[in-house]
Amino acid sequence: MHTFEFIRPENPAAAVATSAKAKTAQQGADVRFVAGGTTLIDLMKLNVETPARLLDINRLPLDKIEATPDGGLKIGATVRNSDLAHHATVQRDYAVLSQALLSGATAQLRNMATTAGNLLQRTRCMYFRDTAMPCNKREPGTGCPAITGSNRTLAVLGTSEHCIASNPSDMCVAMAALEATIHVQGPKGPRAIPIGDFHLLPGSTPHRETLLEPGDLITHVTLPPPKPGSKQVYLKLRDRASYEFALASAAVVITISGGKVTQARIALGGVGTKPWRSPEAEAALVGKSADAANFRKAGEAAMRNAKPQSGNGFKIELAKRCVTHALKMATTA
Protein backbone atom coordinates (compact mmCIF):
# COMPACT_ATOMS: atom_id res chain seq x y z
CA MET A 1 0.00 0.00 0.00
CA HIS A 2 1.26 3.52 -0.78
CA THR A 3 2.10 6.00 1.99
CA PHE A 4 -0.42 8.58 3.16
CA GLU A 5 -0.91 11.19 5.88
CA PHE A 6 -3.44 10.24 8.61
CA ILE A 7 -5.36 13.17 10.13
CA ARG A 8 -7.97 13.34 12.91
CA PRO A 9 -9.97 16.55 12.37
CA GLU A 10 -11.27 18.24 15.55
CA ASN A 11 -14.74 18.95 14.21
CA PRO A 12 -16.85 18.66 11.01
CA ALA A 13 -15.85 22.17 9.85
CA ALA A 14 -12.15 21.26 10.02
CA ALA A 15 -12.83 18.00 8.12
CA VAL A 16 -14.66 19.94 5.39
CA ALA A 17 -11.95 22.63 5.16
CA THR A 18 -9.15 20.06 4.77
CA SER A 19 -10.95 17.89 2.22
CA ALA A 20 -12.05 20.94 0.21
CA LYS A 21 -8.44 21.13 -0.98
CA ALA A 22 -8.87 17.84 -2.90
CA LYS A 23 -9.02 17.91 -6.69
CA THR A 24 -12.08 15.63 -6.79
CA ALA A 25 -14.41 13.71 -4.49
CA GLN A 26 -14.78 11.00 -7.13
CA GLN A 27 -12.40 8.26 -8.37
CA GLY A 28 -8.78 9.36 -7.92
CA ALA A 29 -9.51 11.60 -4.91
CA ASP A 30 -6.31 12.69 -3.17
CA VAL A 31 -8.15 13.30 0.14
CA ARG A 32 -10.63 10.80 1.58
CA PHE A 33 -12.65 10.57 4.76
CA VAL A 34 -12.33 7.20 6.43
CA ALA A 35 -15.17 5.81 8.58
CA GLY A 36 -15.34 2.01 9.06
CA GLY A 37 -12.69 1.55 6.36
CA THR A 38 -14.30 -1.66 5.05
CA THR A 39 -14.49 -0.34 1.48
CA LEU A 40 -11.71 2.24 1.41
CA ILE A 41 -8.88 0.28 3.05
CA ASP A 42 -9.65 -2.75 0.82
CA LEU A 43 -9.33 -0.55 -2.27
CA MET A 44 -6.17 1.12 -0.97
CA LYS A 45 -4.56 -2.31 -0.52
CA LEU A 46 -5.38 -3.00 -4.18
CA ASN A 47 -4.05 0.44 -5.27
CA VAL A 48 -7.47 1.25 -6.75
CA GLU A 49 -7.70 4.17 -4.29
CA THR A 50 -4.47 6.05 -3.54
CA PRO A 51 -5.35 9.08 -1.37
CA ALA A 52 -2.45 11.15 -0.05
CA ARG A 53 -4.52 12.17 3.02
CA LEU A 54 -6.98 10.16 5.12
CA LEU A 55 -9.29 12.12 7.42
CA ASP A 56 -10.57 9.89 10.24
CA ILE A 57 -14.15 11.02 10.99
CA ASN A 58 -14.88 8.44 13.69
CA ARG A 59 -14.53 10.92 16.56
CA LEU A 60 -16.82 13.53 15.04
CA PRO A 61 -20.27 13.86 16.68
CA LEU A 62 -22.11 12.14 13.82
CA ASP A 63 -23.08 8.88 15.51
CA LYS A 64 -26.63 9.45 16.82
CA ILE A 65 -30.02 8.08 15.77
CA GLU A 66 -32.71 10.60 16.71
CA ALA A 67 -36.39 11.29 16.08
CA THR A 68 -37.07 14.39 13.94
CA PRO A 69 -39.78 16.94 14.87
CA ASP A 70 -41.96 15.80 11.93
CA GLY A 71 -42.01 12.18 13.19
CA GLY A 72 -39.22 10.92 10.93
CA LEU A 73 -35.73 9.69 11.78
CA LYS A 74 -32.26 11.27 11.63
CA ILE A 75 -29.38 8.82 11.20
CA GLY A 76 -25.83 10.09 11.79
CA ALA A 77 -23.19 9.45 9.14
CA THR A 78 -21.03 7.29 11.42
CA VAL A 79 -23.86 5.19 12.89
CA ARG A 80 -22.73 1.59 12.45
CA ASN A 81 -24.87 -0.61 10.21
CA SER A 82 -25.42 -3.07 13.10
CA ASP A 83 -26.61 -0.32 15.48
CA LEU A 84 -29.00 0.99 12.84
CA ALA A 85 -30.38 -2.46 12.00
CA HIS A 86 -31.08 -3.26 15.67
CA HIS A 87 -32.49 0.14 16.67
CA ALA A 88 -36.02 -0.30 18.08
CA THR A 89 -37.56 2.51 15.96
CA VAL A 90 -35.98 1.17 12.78
CA GLN A 91 -37.21 -2.34 13.49
CA ARG A 92 -40.74 -1.07 14.21
CA ASP A 93 -41.23 1.69 11.63
CA TYR A 94 -38.62 1.06 8.94
CA ALA A 95 -38.38 -2.74 8.95
CA VAL A 96 -37.30 -2.83 5.31
CA LEU A 97 -34.12 -0.94 6.27
CA SER A 98 -33.33 -3.25 9.17
CA GLN A 99 -33.83 -6.31 6.94
CA ALA A 100 -31.66 -4.86 4.17
CA LEU A 101 -28.83 -4.04 6.55
CA LEU A 102 -28.92 -7.48 8.17
CA SER A 103 -28.80 -9.16 4.74
CA GLY A 104 -25.47 -7.45 3.98
CA ALA A 105 -21.93 -8.68 4.60
CA THR A 106 -21.28 -10.29 8.01
CA ALA A 107 -21.86 -9.31 11.64
CA GLN A 108 -18.20 -8.25 11.96
CA LEU A 109 -18.36 -6.03 8.87
CA ARG A 110 -21.70 -4.52 9.93
CA ASN A 111 -20.13 -3.61 13.28
CA MET A 112 -17.60 -1.45 11.41
CA ALA A 113 -19.55 -0.25 8.35
CA THR A 114 -21.25 3.14 8.64
CA THR A 115 -24.28 4.82 7.10
CA ALA A 116 -22.24 7.23 4.94
CA GLY A 117 -19.66 4.59 4.00
CA ASN A 118 -22.42 2.26 2.85
CA LEU A 119 -23.91 5.03 0.69
CA LEU A 120 -20.50 5.40 -0.98
CA GLN A 121 -19.38 1.78 -1.31
CA ARG A 122 -17.91 0.98 -4.72
CA THR A 123 -18.88 -1.62 -7.29
CA ARG A 124 -17.66 -5.20 -6.96
CA CYS A 125 -16.94 -5.40 -10.73
CA MET A 126 -13.78 -7.55 -10.85
CA TYR A 127 -12.09 -5.38 -13.50
CA PHE A 128 -12.54 -2.26 -11.38
CA ARG A 129 -10.64 -3.94 -8.55
CA ASP A 130 -7.78 -5.22 -10.75
CA THR A 131 -5.30 -2.50 -11.74
CA ALA A 132 -3.80 -4.80 -14.40
CA MET A 133 -7.03 -4.42 -16.39
CA PRO A 134 -8.52 -1.42 -18.20
CA CYS A 135 -11.65 0.10 -16.65
CA ASN A 136 -13.43 3.35 -17.53
CA LYS A 137 -14.59 3.83 -13.96
CA ARG A 138 -11.07 3.53 -12.52
CA GLU A 139 -9.16 5.11 -15.42
CA PRO A 140 -11.44 7.12 -17.72
CA GLY A 141 -11.03 6.35 -21.41
CA THR A 142 -9.36 2.93 -21.03
CA GLY A 143 -12.42 0.86 -21.95
CA CYS A 144 -14.86 -1.54 -20.34
CA PRO A 145 -13.70 -5.18 -20.51
CA ALA A 146 -16.82 -6.34 -18.63
CA ILE A 147 -19.03 -5.78 -21.68
CA THR A 148 -17.30 -8.57 -23.59
CA GLY A 149 -15.98 -10.35 -20.50
CA SER A 150 -17.28 -11.52 -17.13
CA ASN A 151 -20.54 -9.71 -16.42
CA ARG A 152 -22.73 -12.28 -14.66
CA THR A 153 -23.10 -10.12 -11.53
CA LEU A 154 -23.32 -6.74 -13.27
CA ALA A 155 -26.23 -4.45 -14.13
CA VAL A 156 -29.10 -4.69 -16.62
CA LEU A 157 -30.72 -1.32 -15.79
CA GLY A 158 -29.12 2.09 -16.27
CA THR A 159 -26.06 0.78 -18.13
CA SER A 160 -24.14 2.62 -20.85
CA GLU A 161 -21.63 1.60 -23.49
CA HIS A 162 -18.95 2.88 -21.08
CA CYS A 163 -19.87 0.97 -17.90
CA ILE A 164 -22.27 -1.75 -16.77
CA ALA A 165 -21.19 -1.98 -13.12
CA SER A 166 -23.92 -2.75 -10.58
CA ASN A 167 -24.28 -0.83 -7.33
CA PRO A 168 -23.74 -3.42 -4.57
CA SER A 169 -25.49 -1.76 -1.61
CA ASP A 170 -28.46 -3.33 0.16
CA MET A 171 -28.99 -0.41 2.56
CA CYS A 172 -29.37 2.08 -0.29
CA VAL A 173 -32.14 0.02 -1.90
CA ALA A 174 -34.21 0.17 1.28
CA MET A 175 -33.44 3.87 1.64
CA ALA A 176 -34.61 4.45 -1.94
CA ALA A 177 -37.96 2.79 -1.13
CA LEU A 178 -38.18 4.87 2.07
CA GLU A 179 -37.40 8.12 0.17
CA ALA A 180 -34.38 9.02 2.31
CA THR A 181 -32.60 12.37 2.07
CA ILE A 182 -28.80 12.65 2.28
CA HIS A 183 -27.50 15.68 4.21
CA VAL A 184 -24.11 17.07 3.26
CA GLN A 185 -21.91 19.75 4.81
CA GLY A 186 -19.75 21.34 2.12
CA PRO A 187 -17.42 24.33 1.79
CA LYS A 188 -20.42 26.49 0.79
CA GLY A 189 -22.68 25.24 3.59
CA PRO A 190 -25.19 22.43 4.11
CA ARG A 191 -27.44 20.90 1.48
CA ALA A 192 -30.00 18.09 1.31
CA ILE A 193 -30.08 15.63 -1.59
CA PRO A 194 -32.92 13.13 -2.22
CA ILE A 195 -31.42 9.65 -2.47
CA GLY A 196 -32.80 9.26 -6.00
CA ASP A 197 -30.57 12.14 -7.14
CA PHE A 198 -27.52 11.29 -5.04
CA HIS A 199 -26.09 8.44 -7.18
CA LEU A 200 -25.39 9.13 -10.86
CA LEU A 201 -25.94 6.92 -13.91
CA PRO A 202 -22.62 5.99 -15.58
CA GLY A 203 -23.32 7.58 -18.98
CA SER A 204 -19.99 8.63 -20.49
CA THR A 205 -18.49 9.49 -17.06
CA PRO A 206 -18.64 6.32 -14.94
CA HIS A 207 -15.84 7.63 -12.69
CA ARG A 208 -18.40 10.17 -11.36
CA GLU A 209 -20.66 8.13 -9.06
CA THR A 210 -22.40 10.74 -6.89
CA LEU A 211 -23.15 14.45 -6.67
CA LEU A 212 -20.37 14.92 -4.09
CA GLU A 213 -17.74 17.63 -4.64
CA PRO A 214 -14.42 18.22 -2.83
CA GLY A 215 -15.03 19.01 0.85
CA ASP A 216 -18.48 17.44 0.99
CA LEU A 217 -18.95 15.55 4.26
CA ILE A 218 -22.12 13.49 4.65
CA THR A 219 -23.38 14.40 8.12
CA HIS A 220 -26.63 12.42 8.33
CA VAL A 221 -29.53 10.82 6.50
CA THR A 222 -33.18 11.56 7.25
CA LEU A 223 -36.19 9.31 6.71
CA PRO A 224 -39.70 10.76 6.39
CA PRO A 225 -42.33 9.68 8.94
CA PRO A 226 -43.45 6.07 8.38
CA LYS A 227 -46.58 5.55 6.27
CA PRO A 228 -49.33 4.40 8.68
CA GLY A 229 -50.29 0.76 8.05
CA SER A 230 -47.58 0.17 5.43
CA LYS A 231 -46.13 -3.33 4.99
CA GLN A 232 -42.41 -3.57 4.30
CA VAL A 233 -40.10 -6.32 3.07
CA TYR A 234 -36.53 -6.57 1.76
CA LEU A 235 -35.89 -9.73 -0.25
CA LYS A 236 -32.36 -10.51 -1.42
CA LEU A 237 -31.55 -13.30 -3.90
CA ARG A 238 -27.88 -14.36 -4.11
CA ASP A 239 -25.58 -17.27 -4.86
CA ARG A 240 -25.31 -18.29 -1.19
CA ALA A 241 -27.33 -17.49 1.89
CA SER A 242 -24.86 -15.16 3.63
CA TYR A 243 -21.72 -13.09 3.02
CA GLU A 244 -22.73 -12.47 -0.59
CA PHE A 245 -23.92 -9.53 -2.68
CA ALA A 246 -27.36 -9.50 -4.33
CA LEU A 247 -27.92 -10.89 -7.81
CA ALA A 248 -31.34 -9.27 -7.48
CA SER A 249 -33.10 -7.73 -4.52
CA ALA A 250 -36.31 -5.84 -3.90
CA ALA A 251 -37.40 -3.39 -1.21
CA VAL A 252 -41.16 -2.91 -1.03
CA VAL A 253 -43.21 -0.51 1.08
CA ILE A 254 -46.89 -1.03 0.32
CA THR A 255 -50.21 0.11 1.78
CA ILE A 256 -53.46 -1.73 1.09
CA SER A 257 -57.03 -0.67 1.80
CA GLY A 258 -60.16 -2.68 0.93
CA GLY A 259 -58.05 -5.19 -1.01
CA LYS A 260 -56.56 -2.48 -3.25
CA VAL A 261 -53.05 -1.01 -3.26
CA THR A 262 -53.23 2.63 -2.19
CA GLN A 263 -49.49 3.36 -2.06
CA ALA A 264 -46.41 1.47 -3.27
CA ARG A 265 -42.73 2.26 -3.25
CA ILE A 266 -40.49 -0.29 -4.88
CA ALA A 267 -36.71 -0.31 -5.33
CA LEU A 268 -34.36 -2.94 -6.71
CA GLY A 269 -30.78 -3.91 -5.96
CA GLY A 270 -28.19 -6.00 -7.81
CA VAL A 271 -29.64 -5.14 -11.21
CA GLY A 272 -29.08 -1.38 -11.52
CA THR A 273 -26.04 0.84 -11.95
CA LYS A 274 -27.45 2.76 -8.97
CA PRO A 275 -29.96 1.83 -6.24
CA TRP A 276 -32.98 1.45 -8.53
CA ARG A 277 -36.34 2.98 -7.60
CA SER A 278 -39.00 1.75 -10.01
CA PRO A 279 -41.84 4.22 -10.69
CA GLU A 280 -42.97 1.80 -13.43
CA ALA A 281 -43.59 -0.99 -10.90
CA GLU A 282 -45.28 1.42 -8.52
CA ALA A 283 -47.62 2.75 -11.23
CA ALA A 284 -48.51 -0.82 -12.20
CA LEU A 285 -49.76 -1.48 -8.67
CA VAL A 286 -51.49 1.62 -7.30
CA GLY A 287 -55.27 1.35 -7.53
CA LYS A 288 -55.10 -2.36 -8.43
CA SER A 289 -56.11 -5.43 -6.43
CA ALA A 290 -53.36 -6.71 -4.19
CA ASP A 291 -53.10 -10.12 -5.87
CA ALA A 292 -50.44 -12.36 -7.38
CA ALA A 293 -51.25 -11.45 -10.99
CA ASN A 294 -50.79 -7.74 -10.33
CA PHE A 295 -47.62 -8.37 -8.31
CA ARG A 296 -46.18 -10.19 -11.34
CA LYS A 297 -47.21 -7.27 -13.58
CA ALA A 298 -45.30 -4.94 -11.25
CA GLY A 299 -42.20 -7.15 -11.57
CA GLU A 300 -42.52 -7.09 -15.35
CA ALA A 301 -42.95 -3.31 -15.38
CA ALA A 302 -39.82 -2.90 -13.24
CA MET A 303 -37.70 -4.77 -15.79
CA ARG A 304 -39.33 -3.40 -18.97
CA ASN A 305 -36.24 -1.36 -19.91
CA ALA A 306 -33.67 -3.96 -18.85
CA LYS A 307 -30.78 -4.64 -21.23
CA PRO A 308 -29.03 -8.00 -20.78
CA GLN A 309 -25.30 -8.54 -21.34
CA SER A 310 -23.77 -11.82 -22.49
CA GLY A 311 -23.76 -13.42 -19.03
CA ASN A 312 -26.47 -11.75 -16.97
CA GLY A 313 -29.73 -12.13 -18.91
CA PHE A 314 -30.98 -14.49 -16.18
CA LYS A 315 -31.18 -11.49 -13.82
CA ILE A 316 -34.18 -10.09 -15.67
CA GLU A 317 -36.47 -13.01 -14.83
CA LEU A 318 -34.86 -13.32 -11.39
CA ALA A 319 -35.64 -9.68 -10.59
CA LYS A 320 -39.24 -10.02 -11.81
CA ARG A 321 -39.70 -12.99 -9.48
CA CYS A 322 -37.95 -11.13 -6.67
CA VAL A 323 -40.37 -8.17 -6.88
CA THR A 324 -43.37 -10.51 -7.20
CA HIS A 325 -42.34 -12.60 -4.20
CA ALA A 326 -41.40 -9.60 -2.04
CA LEU A 327 -44.89 -8.18 -2.62
CA LYS A 328 -46.46 -11.53 -1.69
CA MET A 329 -44.36 -11.70 1.47
CA ALA A 330 -45.23 -8.12 2.45
CA THR A 331 -48.95 -8.57 1.96
CA THR A 332 -49.26 -11.95 3.66
CA ALA A 333 -46.95 -11.18 6.61
Which one of the spans 62-70, 125-133, 185-193, 232-240 is the region binding ligand SF4 (CB under 6 A)?
A: 125-133
CA 221 to chain centre: 13
Q: Please, which residues have CB within 8 angstroms of residue 27's CB and are 6 or more apart in sequence?
A: 137, 138, 207, 208, 209
CA–CA separation, 65 vs 53, rounded Å? 29
Q: Which of 128, 234, 276, 295 binds ligand SF4 (CB under 6 A)?
A: 128
DSSP 188-245: TEEEEEEHHHHBPP-TT-TT--BS--TT-EEEEEEEPPPPTT-EEEEEEE-SSSSS--
Spell out, one character per residue from 42 to 81, where the chain touches ligand FAD: x when CB under 6 A holds, - when not.
Answer: x--------------x-------------------x----
Q: Which does 224 bind (CB under 5 to 8 A by kind): ligand SF4, ligand FAD, none?
A: none
Q: Which does 42 bind (CB under 5 to 8 A by kind): ligand FAD, ligand SF4, none?
A: ligand FAD
Q: In what order do the strands lie in the sheet with 248-257?
A: 231-237, 248-257, 260-269, 276-277
For the beta carbon of residue 18, count every other beta carbon within 10 angstroms: 16
Q: Which does 114 bind (CB under 5 to 8 A by kind): ligand SF4, ligand FAD, none?
A: ligand FAD
Residue 276's beta-bridge partner residues? 268
Q: Which does 118 bind (CB under 5 to 8 A by kind): ligand FAD, ligand SF4, none?
A: ligand FAD
Least distance in angstroms from the C-beta of 264 to ligand FAD: 23
Contact 131, 50 (CB under 8 A): no
261: closest CA among 328, 318, 179?
328
Q: Which of 26, 27, 39, 99 binds ligand FAD (CB under 6 A)?
A: 39
206 burial via Cβ count (<10 Å: 0-12, 13-18, 19+): buried
The residue number whose beta carbon is nearest to ligand FAD equals 117
Q: Is 90 in the site for ligand SF4 (CB under 6 A)?
A: no
Least distance in angstroms from the C-beta of 238 to ligand SF4: 19
Nearer to ligand SF4, 53 or 124 (CB): 124
Q: What angle do CA 142, 144, 145 make, to 5 degrees?
A: 110
Number of residues located near ligand FAD, criterion CB under 6 A: 30
Q: Which does 203 bind (CB under 5 to 8 A by kind): ligand FAD, ligand SF4, none?
A: none
The residues binding ligand SF4 (CB under 6 A) are 123, 125, 127-128, 135-137, 144-146, 154, 163-165, 206
Binding region for ligand FAD (CB under 6 A): 32-40, 42, 57, 77, 104-105, 109, 112-114, 116-118, 120-121, 168-171, 217-218, 245
